[in-house]
Amino acid sequence: MSAPAVVITGASRGLGLASAVHLYARGYRVVAAMRSVEAGLERLRQETGAAADDPRLLGVKLDLNDAASIAAAARAIEAAVGAPDALVHNAGIAAAGAFEDTPERAWRDLFNTNLFGPIALTRALLPGMRAAGRGRIVVVSSQGAVRGMPAISAYSASKGALERWAESLAGEIAPFGLGVGVVVSGTFKTDILVQTSDYRDHEGPYASHYVGIDRTGDVVVRAANPPERFARVLARAVAERKPFARHTAGVDATMLVLMSRLLPGAWLHHVIRLAMRLPRAGRLRALPPGAGPGAAELNP
């Protein structure tokens, strides 16, 4: 019997690279889908020790923002391994900035890469997986999907939509023997900050928000875990047999998921505001025209 085949998008770096290396070590055939196949495969071979002709480590070119690339990648995957045993939607992009600071083009790019791209790749591969009567689709989500986070609304929205789609899909494909998993990722030591598009206007109306968020972010990044810990959680999600399962990777993700279940929405809103050091409600409200100096005391 041949080794189970897993497709991992965004496998050339960060969490995808760590996951591909870990799953290869566990005996999977790894199909690494990425934009730069040559450079990505070289990195994977260095990390895994795989030979250039190792049939358990394959590369496929994939750009989730390009419909033709997605279709070509699906054909290449099926030609190489047939219906995959697991499809891991790890690739994603992020953007920082309050809603008013984030341009419309950023929303389109985020949804194309984080949601519509994974949907298109799944649409292409799902018929074969369904016909085989086996397989698992795993999406990598974020804390921003658990609760919409200030200054990353476009990213939160795209990841939230990804989770809701995954939940819906699980109900549809379970009768055919397939399953769906969600991995809610916390903060890990990767180059995600380098990959994040920054639209923040530090001189604009949300400048004070960014100061507080950056202070909290520095603390969180210093405490971030190595990607290898994420890879172990992802491996459990891939091997899961339940029709639908949600896993958390990282203490911060686990805590947020628990709080979202236990705390009323208003309380959680307040906890997040304090954690991110945001101004309290009404603090930045503009003074009415013609108000005298004493009016500022009414808006402390």
Tokens representing 94 are: 């992020």
The pLDDT score that the predictor gives to residue 286 is: 73
Tokens representing 147 are: 């609760």
Which residue among 24, 28, 155, 210 is the active-site one?
A: 155
How many whole angstroms separate alpha carbon 198 and alpha carbon 5? 36
155 is catalytic: yes
Torsion of Cα atoms, 182 then 172 then 5 then 254, to 10°: 10
The pLDDT score that the predictor gives to residue 20 is: 98
- Which helix (H) or strand (E) element contains residue 85? none
pTM score over 0.75: yes
Per-residue pLDDT tens digits of the chain, which is 300 residues long: 689 999 999 999 999 999 999 999 999 999 999 999 999 999 999 999 999 999 999 999 999 999 999 999 999 999 999 999 999 999 999 999 999 999 999 999 999 999 999 999 999 999 999 999 999 999 999 999 999 999 999 999 999 999 999 999 999 999 999 999 999 999 998 876 556 899 999 999 999 999 999 998 888 888 888 999 999 999 999 999 999 999 999 999 999 999 999 999 999 999 999 999 999 899 898 745 554 443 333 343
Sign, CA dihedral 231-236-237-238, equals positive
Sign, CA dihedral 282-287-291-294, equals positive
The pLDDT score that the predictor gives to residue 289 is: 54
Q: Domains in the chain, ordered, with CATH?
A: 5-206+226-259 (3.40.50.720)
Torsion of Cα atoms, 252 then 229 then 44 then 1, to 10°: -120
